[in-house]
């Protein structure tokens, strides 16, 4: 372990490389561009590939194409680019192609405040592409977490054959912090197959949750499509085959929540008030919780690292017995909607800003102290 | 290992799968598919090394029928998906099949940039001058004054000249023929596939179902006859004044030049980066 001063965006790069990322396609956009700049230098050193595409739609398309070719692949962007990527994120979910999309969130809507932080894309992360689909979205709250959760994003993506969204924000992306990065991390390879090509079905999982994915060019010669498809990947309109797909792709996430849901709990037991935060806002929240405890408030703290799927059961049990749940976020109340669904609207105290400013500890402290 | 049969003499179709096809009886897309198969067969590539990538529309359905590594992507984005695949696996032969709307309207940006980059893909644009699958709306190659389902008063936009566009954008090889000139199409696609850089073949087809019906151009046979009558070789067209070329389809090889291919250049970037990293630079 070496101690370094590192920016969040660059910790994300190091995490990606440690996880085995060997392909990046992207389009310049503030505040994510450091990810592209660093990878353009680092990837070819490792024999990997970097390409700056003509727009974000092309970027996510190239990422999916490279993943089909067998490389672990990612892109990084911010709000406007994330909006452009939505259709192909749905394609990756439908065709079950692993890929990692980093969104260093800035203030929107539209061009908004390009260099100011926000957490305004959290619902877009869940429902941005059309149609029902499972998705995994992670949010780091420190430079070290940016590294760790990028590794995790790749591992989950490869293991479950699903796009994974790393929802950073400008605070975490641009902040520099002292970090110790581990020399070794756990790296997951996508499930591959050893069956003869004529027996291979790219969309049949057998008894497992996720079917193995053979890369193109290795003798398997199968079909990939964004249409509903049968086990061979061929388009289908048969209700039984469509139903099978819907059931399986949702089950592969739902059955593995223990592995996918990441969060940190701090003194939740016996708490009278719970603070639930994520990303850059979790830093202010942690400070507010410390101030409140110094004033003898019994405050529990939850740092959500997995936002989607939403950790409903954990939160329901953490919120049992508390009078209030404070949910600060740099938007007008997005994850708060989920918290309200789980703990009941009457318990939730929202603390919101969507003007490009971080939420200060005082604002959260005031909500904790509210009677 | 070919699976030969009377209906599939080259053995490249997916056995027992997904037939009959989705195309209207008399459509020209099947002729283009045949031409691609014959070109690959003549070159003799191993099917495991060939990928076919398509977008959305009538042409988008082509890959499902053929026994390569096949990918049916989103509308207009086939070249972008293929760029990622080719860069990840430069040893693969990647054929991208698109329609005119797919390649030149929604995917126009990807088309000019793939050509500029000169990445080693073969783009086959099946140009029927209309959006067939959605019911016959005008496309970037609809000729002026024609009627489509979104041009009830006649088309008022000039069409893209595909070879000139591809040439200006930087493609290494550009050719055009029609689905009537099937043997020439085989040959041009073979040349395009063998070319190292970005290669483009425009295969002029027709849509008798919508374009032909709306413009009273007759059925599939009459429209095929028009392709025969209207097409002239590029060599002959060179000596002709512009007014005589109006309404003609100039066919043949427009561009054949040797310019550095993108994935080969990127291999040099890798070598340079690795040398610098070793030298501690």
Per-residue pLDDT of chain A (371 residues; tens, 9 = 90+): 689 999 999 999 999 999 999 999 999 999 999 999 999 999 999 999 999 999 999 999 999 999 999 999 999 999 999 999 999 999 999 999 999 999 999 999 999 999 999 999 999 999 999 999 999 999 999 999 999 999 999 999 999 999 999 999 999 999 999 999 999 999 999 988 889 998 999 999 988 899 999 999 999 999 999 999 999 999 999 999 999 999 999 999 999 999 999 999 999 999 999 999 999 999 999 999 999 999 999 999 999 999 999 999 999 999 999 999 999 999 999 999 999 999 999 999 999 999 999 999 999 999 999 98
Compute how many other C-beta atoms are within 10 angstroms of the C-beta atom of residue B245. 12
Q: Which domains does chain B have, with CATH numbers?
A: 29-278 (3.40.50.970)
For B84, the closest of A66, A224, A226 (CB atoms) is: A66
Measured distance CA(A29)–CA(A106) in Å, rounded: 10
Place of tokens 């893209």: B160
Of B17, B72, B84, the CB nearest to A226: B72
So what's the pLDDT on residue B280? 67
Q: CA angle, A53 as apex, A308 and B172 as ends, to 5°? A: 145
- Torsion A170-A176-A180-A185 (CA) sign: positive
Taking contacts as CB-CB distances below 8 angstroms, the residues of chain B near A65 are 53, 71, 80-86, 88
Query: Of A45, A65, A227, which is closest to B81 when you measure between CB atoms?
Result: A65
In this prediction, residue A337 carries a pLDDT of: 98
Look at residue B9 in the predicted model and tell me its pLDDT. Answer: 78
CA angle B247, B248, B251 (to 5 degrees): 150
- Please give the span between the terminal C-alpha atoms of chain B, in angstroms, as a whole number: 50
Q: Which residue of A has its CA nearest to B50?
A: A217
Give the whole-angstrom CA distance, residue A37 versus residue B49: 32
Note whether B273 contacts A66, CB cutoff 8 Å: no
On chain A, the residues whose CB falls within 8 A of the CB of B58 are none
Measured in angstroms, the CA of B20 and the nearest CA of chain A are apart by 13
Nearest to B85 among A57, A66, A227 (CB): A66
d(C-alpha B254, C-alpha B249), whole Å: 13
Chain A touched by B281 (CB under 8 Å)? no
Instruction: Give contacts of B18 with chain A, Cβ < 8 Å.
Output: 234-235
The CA-atom distances, in angstroms, between B7 and each of A122, B3, B190 are 53, 11, 22
Judge if A2-181 and A261-369 fold alike in CATH terms. yes
Give the residue from B3, B48, B55, B71 with the most A CB atoms within 10 Å of its CB, the best one to mutate.
Answer: B71
Residue A240's alpha-carbon distances to A142, A202, A227, B202, in angstroms, are 45, 18, 15, 40
ipTM: 0.97
DSSP state of B61: G
Pairing of strands B137-138, B130-131: antiparallel
Query: Looking at the domain covering A2-181, what would its CATH class be?
Result: alpha beta
CB A12 within 8 A of CB A177: no
When CB atoms are compared, the residue of B47, B71, B270 closest to A224 is B71
CB A51 within 8 A of CB B269: no
Main-chain dihedrals φ then ψ at residue A99, nearest 5 degrees? -170, 155
A53, A72, A223: best to mutate for the B interface, most B CBs within 10 A: A223
Residues in chain A, overall count? 371
First to last CA, chain A: 46
Q: If interface means Cβ-Cβ distance under 8 Å, which residues of chain A face chain B?
A: 23, 25, 41, 44-45, 47, 49, 51, 53-55, 57-59, 61-71, 73, 87-88, 91, 215-227, 232, 234-235
Instruction: Output the pLDDT for position A307.
Output: 98
Would the CB atoms of B269 and A44 count as touching at under 8 Å? Answer: yes
pLDDT at A207: 84
Q: Name the residue in chain B with its Cα closest to that of A86.
A: B74
Residue A169 CA to residue A142 CA, distance in Å, equals 10
Q: Which residues of A touch B91 (CB under 8 A)?
A: 217
Cβ of residue B89 closer than 8 Å to a chain A Cβ: yes
CATH topology (fold) of A261-369: Rossmann fold (3.40.50)
For residues B103 and A149, give the distance between their C-alpha atoms in angstroms, rounded to a whole number: 38
Q: What is the pLDDT of residue B1?
A: 46
Chain B residues closer than 8 Å to A227 by CB:
72
Is A57 in Cβ contact with B113 (below 8 Å)? no
**B residues 95-124 lying closer than 8 A (beta carbon) to A:** 109-110, 113
Spatial distance between the Cα atoms of A11 and A179, rounded to a whole number of angstroms? 9
The Cα–Cα gap between B276 and B281 comes to 5
Residue-level pLDDT at A371: 83
Tokens of residue B200, six digits:
């483009």
Decide: A333 and A301 in contact? Cβ < 8 Å: no
Note whether B110 contacts A58, CB cutoff 8 Å: yes
Domain limits, chain A: 2-181, 261-369
Measured between CA atoms, the residue of chain A closest to residue B72 is A225
Instruction: Say what angle helices A56-68 and B78-88 make with each other, to 10 degrees.
Output: 50
For chain A, give the secondary structure using H, E and C: CEEEEEEHHHHHHHHHHHCCEEEEEECCCCCCHHHHHHHHHHHHHCCCEEEECCCHHHHHHHHHHHHHCCCEEEEEECHHHHHHHHHHHHHHHHHCCCEEEEEEEEECCCCCEEEEECCCCHHHHHHCCCCCCCCEEECCCCHHHHHHHHHHHHHHHHHHCCEEEEEEEHHHHHCEEEEEECCCCCCCCCCCCCCCHHHCCCCCCCCCCCCCCCCCCCCCCCEEECCCECCCCCECCCHHHHHHHHHHHHHHHHCCHHHHCCEEEECCCCCCEEEEECHHHHHHHHHHHHHHHHCCCCEEEEEECEEECCCHHHHHHHCCCCCEEEEEECCCCCHHHHHHHHHCHHHEEEEECCCCCCCCHHHHHHHHHCC
Interface check for B15 against chain A (CB to CB < 8 A): the answer is no
Residue ranges in chain B whose pLDDT is less than 70? 1-7, 16, 280-281
Q: Looking at residue B189, what is its pLDDT?
A: 98
């Amino acid at each position: 372990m070496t101690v370094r001063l590192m920016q969040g965006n660059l910790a994300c790069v190091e995490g990606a490389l440690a996880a085995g990322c060997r392909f990046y396609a992207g389009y310049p956009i503030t505040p994510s561009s450091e990810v592209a700049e660093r990878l353009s230098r680092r990837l070819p050193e490792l024999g990997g590939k970097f390409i700056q595409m003509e727009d974000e739609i092309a970027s996510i398309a190239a990422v999916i194409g490279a993943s089909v070719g067998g490389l672990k692949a990612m892109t990084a962007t911010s709000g406007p680019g994330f909006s452009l990527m939505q259709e192909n994120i749905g394609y990756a979910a439908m065709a079950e192609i692993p890929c990692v999309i980093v969104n260093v969130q800035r203030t929107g809507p539209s061009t908004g405040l390009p260099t100011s932080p926000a957490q305004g894309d959290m619902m877009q992360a869940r429902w941005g592409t059309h149609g029902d689909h499972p998705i995994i979205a992670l949010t780091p709250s420190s430079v070290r977490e940016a590294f760790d959760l990028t590794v995790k994003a790749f591992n989950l993506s490869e293991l479950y054959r699903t796009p994974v969204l790393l929802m950073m924000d400008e605070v975490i992306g641009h902040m520099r912090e002292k970090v110790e990065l581990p020399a070794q991390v756990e790296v997951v390879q996508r499930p591959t197959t050893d069956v003869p090509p004529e027996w291979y079905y790219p969309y049949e999982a057998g008894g497992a949750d996720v079917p193995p994915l053979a890369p193109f060019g290795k003798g398997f010669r199968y079909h990939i499509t964004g249409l509903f498809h049968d086990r061979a990947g061929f388009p289908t309109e048969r209700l039984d085959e469509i139903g099978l797909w819907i059931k399986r792709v949702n089950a592969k996430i739902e059955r593995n929540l223990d592995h996918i849901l990441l969060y940190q709990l701090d003194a939740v037991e016996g708490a009278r008030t719970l603070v639930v935060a994520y990303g850059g806002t979790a830093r202010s929240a942690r400070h507010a919780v410390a101030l409140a405890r110094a004033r003898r408030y019994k405050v529990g703290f939850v740092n959500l690292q997995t936002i989607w799927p939403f950790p409903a059961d954990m939160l329901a049990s953490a919120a049992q017995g508390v009078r209030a749940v404070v949910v600060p976020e740099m938007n007008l109340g997005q994850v708060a909607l989920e918290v309200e669904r789980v703990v009941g609207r009457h318990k939730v105290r929202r603390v919101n800003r969507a003007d490009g400013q971080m939420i200060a500890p005082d604002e959260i402290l005031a909500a904790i102290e509210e009677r | 290992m070919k699976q030969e049969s009377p209906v599939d003499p080259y053995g490249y179709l997916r056995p027992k799968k997904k037939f009959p096809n989705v195309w209207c009886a008399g459509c020209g897309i099947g002729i283009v598919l045949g031409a691609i198969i014959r070109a690959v067969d003549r070159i003799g590539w191993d099917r495991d090394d060939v990928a076919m990538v398509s977008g959305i529309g009538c042409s988008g359905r082509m890959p499902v029928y053929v026994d390569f590594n096949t990918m049916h992507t989103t509308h207009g984005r086939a070249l972008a998906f293929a760029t990622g695949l080719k860069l990840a696996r430069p040893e693969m032969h990647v054929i991208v099949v698109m329609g005119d709307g797919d390649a030149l309207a929604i995917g126009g940006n990807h088309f000019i940039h793939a050509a500029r980059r000169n990445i080693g893909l073969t783009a086959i644009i099946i140009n029927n001058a209309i959006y067939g699958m959605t019911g016959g709306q005008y496309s970037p190659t609809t000729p002026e004054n024609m009627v489509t389902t979104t041009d009830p008063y006649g088309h008022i936009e000039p069409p893209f000249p595909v070879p000139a566009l591809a040439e200006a954008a930087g493609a290494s090889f550009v050719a055009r023929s029609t689905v009537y000139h099937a043997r020439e199409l085989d040959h041009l696609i073979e040349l395009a596939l063998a070319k190292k850089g970005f290669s483009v073949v425009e295969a002029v087809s027709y849509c008798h179902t919508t374009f032909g019906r709306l413009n009273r151009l007759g059925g599939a046979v009459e429209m095929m006859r028009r392709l025969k009558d209207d097409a002239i070789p590029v060599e002959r067209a060179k000596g002709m004044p512009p007014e005589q070329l109006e309404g003609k389809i100039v066919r043949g090889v427009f561009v054949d030049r040797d310019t550095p291919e993108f994935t080969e250049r990127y291999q040099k970037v890798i070598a340079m980066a690795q040398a610098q990293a070793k030298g501690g630079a």
